[in-house]
Each structure stands twice: as C-alpha cells, then as structure tokens.
Amino acid sequence: MSEFILELKGITKTFPGVKALDDVYFKLKPGEIHALMGENGAGKSTFIKVITGVHAPDEGGEMYLDGQPVNFRNPKDAQKAGIAAIYQHVTCYPDLTVTENIFMGHEKIAKGTKRLLWREMHEEAGNLLKELGASFSPKTLMGALSVAEQQIVEIAKALSVNARIIIMDEPTAALTNNESEELYRIAEKLRDQGTSIIFISHRFEDMYRLASKVTVFRDSKYIGTWGVNEISNADLIVAMVGREITQLFPKKEAEIGEELLRVEGLGKTGYFADVSFTLRKGEILGLTGLVGAGRTEVCQAIFGAERADKGKIFYKGQELAVRNPLHAMKQGIGYLPEDRQKQGLVLSWEIGRNITLSSLEKMSKKGHINTRKEWDLAKRLAEKVSVKAKSVFDLASSLSGGNQQKVVFAKLLTADLDILILDEPTKGVDVGAKSAIYEIISDLACSGYGIILVSSEMPEIIGMCDRVAVMREGRITAFMDREGISQEAILRASMADADPQQDQQRWA
C-alpha cells in the first residue's frame, strides 16, 4: 500500500498547437485536502480532466492509484476507481428530483422486476443530504435549488458512488460567505472520514481555511508543493505569477485626453449594482475580479446587449440610453466578447466575411454589397492586426486561438469607434500571440481609443492598465491608479469580506 492514494509523475498533455500541461507532478494522501492554485490558464482544468479520464495524457507520464499504475480511457473508468469531480458550473437535470440527480447512472433497481426502488433511493439520498447538513428534501426538483444547494447535491452524488477522491473546481466562486462556510464544514467532515479532496480555488481564504498542502501550477508547468503553513502569502503569489510583470507588456504611454464615458450607479437586478466609473481618451481602464463577479454583465449592459435597469450612461458628456448593440456601435462603443468562438466569430465563414460583418453598411450602396471593396478592406485590416493566414478566404475555424482573436479585433476596427470594451481578450491564447494582442491594445490606446480591459489575469491588468476597478459580487469594491496597483490590493478587493460599501473608493 502506497503512502499516497493518488500520484502523478511527469504528466504532459498537448493539444494541437498548445501544451496544456507540461511535465506535472502531484501527490495526494488519503484524508488530505490539497489545494491546487494557479492563474487562469495555468493548466488546472486540464489537470482535472486528466485525472477524471476526460482527456488522455500524452505518452511518458505515469499515474498511480494506491500505488498501482492506472490508465483511464474514459470518465467511467475514473468513476469506478472512486474519483469524482464537482464543477463550478453544475451539470445536472433541472427537471428531475435531487434523488434522481444523485442516482442517475447507478439507480437502485429491484431484482427481477427492474422496478426503481424509490423509497430506498429517497431514503439514502435523504441520509446523504442530512450527513452533509442540507435542509432540503431529496424530492425537491434540482432546478429549484440555489447553486450552493446544487453543489451539495453534486457532493452527495460523489458520496453515493463511494468516491475516495473528490475534486472541487472553484466550488466557492458563486457562493456567498455563509454558503462557503457550509461547504468548508462539509469538506472537513469528508476529510475526517478519510476522503481525499483536491480543492481548486482562487480564494486564499479557502486554502488557508481548509488545505494542508498546496500545489501551484503556472503556465502549464508544475511549480511546487508546500505545506500551507510553510509558505507565506507573498511567496505564494510570486509562485503563481512568477514573472517580472511589466516587461511582458509593451505598454506605451498614451496621451490621456477628455472624458469619453461616464457610468453612474448602473445596476441590473441579480447581476450587478451601483457600478460607477469614467473612461478617458487614450486610457486603459482595467475591470477585474473573480469570474462571476458581474464584469461581463456590466460590459454587455454598456454595449446594449443586455439591459440595465438602474443608473445612467454618459457618452462624451451626453446621457445615452443604449438600445441595442447596433446603437452602441453607431455611437462609437465596441465590444469584444468573452467567448470568441460562440460570440465573436462565425466559425464556418471566411476571415474576410467575418471582418466585415459588423460594418456591412460601409461597403454597400443601398444595401448592395460591393465585394471588391469588401475584400480590400478585409485584407487591409487583417494585415493591420497581422493575422497569420494565406488569404482572406481561409475559414475562421482553421485559425489558432490567437489569430481568431485578431480577426475579432480587425472586425472592431472596421467601425468608427471611440470606446473598445475588451472582455478577456487573451483568454485561451498562447503566449506569443498574447504579446501581439497586448501590442495591438497598446497601439489602439495611443491612437486615442478609450479602452476597458476586462481580465482575470492579474499580470495583464497590472501591466496594461492606467487604472483598475475591482469587482466583487456585482459591485465595484476598489479603484486603483497605476502607482497603487498591486497584486495584493487586487486580490484583497476581489475577495474581501468587509462590507462592499465601506471600502469602495468612489472615483469622484
């Protein structure tokens, strides 16, 4: 019997063009809560998918369960081996009861008649839930539960298959503090019963509160494993970020001009509230915070894709009620969406047609498209942002992530805009393309655009922005200007438990 219940040695996972995991090590003891930390894109998610059998690792790495080498071919294998994962976005059947969600795929069936044993299942589900301290009935519909309650159901599901290793992927991101506390309690209880937990979180408090060990990944690589008490907060941040931040970023000093945008008290029930800030010409304003803090929703409200129900937006001093994205773009506000494949591009189309999609009116006369003009413009803009492709007729789906993002940039440049809202512009883009995108952003700021840069990547925020607004649970909790920006301050503001109203420094 090995000391470790799970051990990974030298695991590498390559996707076409990207190394998502590079020679990674991990050791998990029975009855241990092990925190896994790292920035977005550090490789944590891929790591989980390897453990749970969703992805097969490249040749060369080794994985041991109880000291025995294992090789999961599919998620079912991992499940049978006692590994269960609980994701931040719960995947469930909203129309079915809690009991059914727990037992889906391994229902209790009467021998012979094949009748479902509801009474037994309800009872066992009820016991599991009681064990986890949940107060809802197992006969409740899944869709009627809050996210926190749904997560408890997922944990119950893991317990119902006798999982020995439970992976929790940012379970607290969407939870309130009380709900997080509940989750901590459950995790501790499971640990005391001998279950091992891999806990992935952005929140330091999660780690200090729960874990005994912490492993850090950075840029798909294994950085190290420490006892939680052995490593200071500052050292941990260095381990996570690890590079001299300012060098990577070709931030040029842009001339900061007059005010372009002023948002006052913007709110949308259930998503964000009291959001106020200004944006000036040539300025890059960072908008950061944890995933789910309401950043995207704020941006989409300004762009008119969603409707805010409170507050005012002033554009160049004039109050502006944005009706829809077209209206916003006509005024001069552009938006680069978070998910370029689903929201930014028509993947089955050529690069050229993608670029011109948002400015068809410009190259047409009375609705008739002038294709000559269209391809010329597409070529010019694609070259301006240096898209790597053979011709403007190459399909968008054939490009790498970075090049796809450049195409979306080119699309924004076709319109006459003053304000660019960039929502996670470097998400899922490899390092080389990243710096190219930073250069584009910097150049745009220099040429007079006002830019709102939404990002979860702290180096990016610190390296690129003139000012930063940090959001937490739908509210802006802090503003910092270039001198005052630091990782610690941002982290504190995005996770702080103090009343948001108190530490909110209004810009005015």
Partner 1 sequence: MKNRGGQPVVVPAGSPGPTGSGQPAAATKKSLSASIAKFRELGLLAFIVILAVGVQFRNTSFLTWENLNDIATNTAILSILAVGMMLVIITRGIDLSIGATLALSGMIAALTVKEYPGLNPYVAVLLGVGIGIACGAVLGFLVSKINILPIIATLGMMNVFRGLTYEASGGKWVSAHQMPESFKAIATGKVLGINNLIFIAILIYIVAYYFVNHTRTGRQIYAVGSNPESAEVSGIKSGRILWLVYTIMGGLSGLAGVLWVAKFASAQGDTASGYELSVIAACVLGGVSIAGGSGKISGIILGSVLLGILNNALPMIDVSPFWQNWIQGMIILVAVLINAMVKRGIDRNNLMRRRI
Partner 2 sequence: MEPRLLENKKEFSLKGFFMQWEWMLVLLFVAMTIMNVNLSEFYWNFDNLRDATMSFLDKAFIVLPMVFIIILGDIDISVGSIVALSSVIMADLYNHGVPMPLAMVICLAVGTLCGFINGLLIVKFKELSAVIVTLSTMIIYRGIAYILLKDQAAGKFPDWFNFLGWDYVGGIPFILIVFAVFAVGFWYLLHKTTFGRKVYAMGSNITASRFSGIQTDRVKIIVFTLAGLMSAVTALFLTSRMGSTRPNIATGYELDVIAMVVLGGISTSGGKGRMIGAILAIFLIGYLRYGLGLVNVSAQTLLIIIGLLLIFAVAVPQLKRVRSKR
Site stretch for partner 1 (CB under 8 A), options 81-89, 139-147, 253-261, 480-488: 139-147
CA dist list (Å): 66 to 50, 72, 73: 17, 14, 18
- Tokens 């998503």 label which residue? 271
Q: For residues 144 and 346, which CB has a smaller minimum distance to partner 1 in the complex? A: 144
Q: Which residues contact 338 (CB under 8 A, 6 or more apart)?
A: 296, 423, 424, 427, 454
CB of 115 to partner 1, least distance (A): 5
Piece in contact with partner 1 (CB under 8 A), picked from 18-26, 97-105, 409-417, 482-490 = 97-105
Q: Does 499 bind partner 1 (CB under 8 A)?
A: no
Determine if 161 is a binding residue for partner 1 (CB under 8 A): no
From the list partner 2, partner 1, none, partner contacted by residue 99 (C-beta under 5 to 8 A by kind) = partner 1
Report the candidate in 20, 16, 47, 18 with the shortest Cα–Cα distance to residue 34: 47
User: b vs e for 384-411, b when ≥16 Cβ sit within 10 Å of the residue's Cβ?
Assistant: ebebebeebebebeebbbbbbbbbbbbb
Contact 85, 167 (CB under 8 A): yes
Judged by CB under 8 A, the stretch of 142-150, 240-248, 336-344, 367-375 that binds partner 1 is 142-150
Residues 240 to 269 in contact with partner 1, rule: CB under 8 A: 269
CB of 418 to partner 2, least distance (A): 15
Q: Which of 41, 289, 294, 352 binds partner 1 (CB under 8 A)?
A: 294
Among 73, 114, 368, 506, interactor with partner 1 by CB under 8 A? 114
Is residue 505 at the binding interface for partner 1, with CB under 8 A as the rule? no
Question: Which of partner 1, partner 2, none lies near 270, with the C-beta cut-off 5 to 8 A by kind?
Answer: partner 1
Q: Is 307 in the site for partner 1 (CB under 8 A)?
A: no
Structure tokens of 491? 């982290």
Minimal distance in Å, beta carbon 226 to partner 1? 35
474: helix, coil or strand? coil
The answer to whether 377 and 353 are in contact (CB under 8 A) is no
Q: 311 exposed, middle or buried (CB, 10 Å; 0-12, 13-18, 19+)?
A: middle
CB 107, min distance to partner 1, A: 5
Q: Are 486 and 453 in contact (CB under 8 A)?
A: no
CB of 412 to partner 2, least distance (A): 10
Residue in this structure with the two tokens 């050229």, named with its chain if needed: 352
Least distance (Å) between residue 474 CB and partner 1: 4
Q: Which of residues 10-49 bind partner 1 (CB under 8 A)?
A: none
Q: Which does 506 bind (CB under 5 to 8 A by kind): partner 2, partner 1, none?
A: none
Distance, CA of 80 to CA of 71 (rounded, Å): 12
Cα pseudo-dihedral 229, 235, 237, 240, rounded to 10 = -90
Q: Which does 73 bind (CB under 5 to 8 A by kind): partner 1, partner 2, none?
A: none
Q: How many CA atoms lie within 13 A of 142 on its CB side?
A: 22
Give the one entry of partner 1, partner 2, none that residue 305 binds, where binding means its C-beta sits below a cut-off of 5 to 8 angstroms depending on kind: partner 2
Sheet holding 333-336, edge to edge: 333-336, 419-423, 450-454, 284-289, 467-472, 475-481
Cβ neighbours, 10 Å, residue 440? 21
**Please, which of residues 448-487 interact with partner 1 by CB under 8 A?**
473-475
Q: How far is the CB of 299 from partner 1 (least distance, A)?
A: 16
In the complex, which residues of this chain contact partner 2 (CB under 8 A)? 303, 305, 324-326, 328-330, 335, 337, 342-349, 351-353, 357-358, 360-361, 364, 367-369, 375-376, 378-379, 382-384, 386-393, 411, 415, 436, 439
Spacing of C-alpha 130 from chain mean position? 32
Segment lying near partner 1 (by CB under 8 A), choices 131-139, 241-249, 280-288, 360-368: 131-139
Helix H or strand E encompassing 299 = helix 295-303
Smallest gap from residue 288 Cβ to partner 1 (A):
18
Structure token digits, residue 266 = 């913007």
Task: Enter the tokens of residue 11.
Answer: 């695991």
Q: Give me the residues that bind partner 1 (CB under 8 A), please.
A: 75-76, 91-97, 99-100, 104-105, 107, 109, 114-116, 118-119, 135-137, 139-146, 269-273, 294, 473-475
